Amino acid sequence: MQTSRLFSVIDSHTAGHPTRTVTAGVPPLKGRSVRAQRDDFRAVHDGLRGLLLHEPRGHAAMVAAVPVPSREADQGLFFISSYIYLDMCGHAVIGYIASLAAMGALPEGFETGGMSIETPAGIVHANGTFEAGKLTSVVLRNVPSHLVASDIVVEAEGLGRITCDIAYGGIMYALVDAGRIGLPFDIDHAGRWCRAGMAIKEALNARSGNAPVSSILFHQSVPGGGRHLVVLAANKFDRSPCGTGTSARIAQLHARGQLAEGETYRAENILGVPFAARVVGLGRSEDGRPAIIPEVRGMAHISAFSTLVLEADDPLASGFLPG
């Protein structure tokens, strides 16, 4: 076998959604910041995105976490999904920390002080809970998150008039009450929820003057919180409760006076697996808006230690994604 590329990866899932932490094989990247290194990867090495994440080595929902050096934090980390580059990804940070723990590579002092991580969205902080020296959960303190706009009404194809809020949690979300859609809120109808989410996303992003919305977070009340389904694209949804989406959701609830500082919000995914979230402080967004400091706690589980191989004569070196 003649190989042209090898990549060492650790696969994990956070409440069902995959993270592929790339531990070796990515070439050195240019840039003083993590954002600049991410942008250099996108400009020069974007073909690796398909190799690492698309079929036959991955699938439409795959996300990669790529560790890089940081001048500002203990570690740099950027995120690649199968179809876009993400400024921040909460479930992937949790997967990355669980992967470090599985390798015995958590930095010295992590159990008492955690670690800072520079992402393209800003610096976040991660620590953990432990039992008998074993990592049992990851606690992510995310970037400042805020409500951007409330009670936005759009005419979505096939759905009629839909009212939503827009909030930022490291990525921009439209937050929609699932009860407005009229579909069973379960995994068996995920495809129909994806189509509904895309209709809303397209209607919102067609409006002039709006900040582009990356994803649609449908929510349904459950005791102590909400059930989430985040639609990413026509054939992609977040299997986890979504770390950045949960940050946006509690920013919305706090701005509306429905979640007090320090109060715990249970964010569960469509499979019933929860994150715990709370507002741990107040601050300002980059453009000066009132914002919250969100904290999200969840756990990831390791699914594989692998070496991805590209043979020299592979006709599908960049992979493929079905529509």
**Residues 209 and 225 grouped into a single domain:** yes
How far does Cα 100 stand from its chain's mean position?
A: 18
Q: Are both 125 and 200 inside the same structural domain? A: no
| Any domain includes 321 | no
Residue 239 lies in a domain: yes
pLDDT of residue 1: 64
Angle between helices 90-103 and 243-255 (to 10 degrees): 130
Question: Encoding tokens for residue 111?
Answer: 């159990």
Per-residue pLDDT of the chain (323 residues; tens, 9 = 90+): 666 899 999 999 999 999 999 999 999 999 999 999 999 999 999 999 999 999 999 999 999 999 999 999 999 999 999 989 999 999 999 999 999 999 999 999 999 999 999 999 999 999 999 999 999 999 999 999 999 999 999 999 999 999 999 999 999 999 999 999 989 999 999 999 999 999 999 999 998 677 789 999 999 999 999 999 999 988 899 999 999 999 999 999 999 999 999 999 999 999 999 999 999 999 998 888 899 999 999 999 999 999 999 999 999 999 999 87
Query: According to the model, what pLDDT value does residue 260 have?
Result: 97
Local structure of 111: helix, strand or coil: helix
**Gyration radius of the chain's alpha carbons:** 19
Asked if 64 and 199 sit in the same domain, the reply is no
Alpha-carbon separation of residue 195 from 17, 204, 231 (angstroms)? 19, 14, 9
Same domain, 126 and 155: no
What H or E segment, with its residue span, contains residue 194?
Answer: helix 190-205
248 and 129 in a common domain? no
Q: Does 175 fall in a domain?
A: yes
**Within this chain, do residues 150 and 294 fall inside the same structural domain, yes or no?**
yes
Neighbours of 292 (CB within 10 A): 27
CATH code of the domain covering residue 226: 3.10.310.10
Which tokens in the block code for residue 162?
Answer: 């839909």
Count of residues in the chain: 323
Look at residue 289 and give its three-state secondary structure: coil
Q: Are residues 153 and 288 in the same domain?
A: yes
- Nearest alpha-carbon partner for 42 in 124, 120, 99, 142: 120
* Residue 130 within a domain: yes
Q: Which pLDDT value is given to residue 285?
A: 86
- Asked if the structure places residue 202 within a domain, the reply is yes
Region class of 122: left (phi > 0), else alpha (psi between -120 and 50), else beta: left
Domain count, the chain: 2
Residues 194 and 169 occupy one common structural domain: yes
The domain in which residue 288 lies consists of 146-299
Look-up of token digits 């977040």: 238
**What is the number of other CB atoms lying within 10 angstroms of the CB of residue 74?**
17
Q: Residue 318: inside a domain, yes or no?
A: no
Residues 153 and 205 occupy one common structural domain? yes
Please indicate, yes or no, if residue 319 is contained in any of the structural domains: no
Are 47 and 162 members of one domain?
no
Whether residue 83 sits in one domain with residue 100: yes
Q: Where are the beta strands (DSSP E) in 120-171?
A: 122-131, 134-141, 146-156, 160-168
* Residue 152 placed within a domain: yes
- CA distances for 257 relative to 164, 195, 315, angstroms: 17, 31, 56
Q: Is the domain of 172 the same as that of 183?
A: yes
**Which residues participate in catalysis according to the annotation?**
89, 242
- The C-alpha atoms of residue 204 and residue 167 are separated, in whole angstroms, by 13
What is the rounded distance in angstroms from the CA atom of residue 81 to the CA atom of residue 10?
Answer: 16
- Give the three-state DSSP class for 263: coil
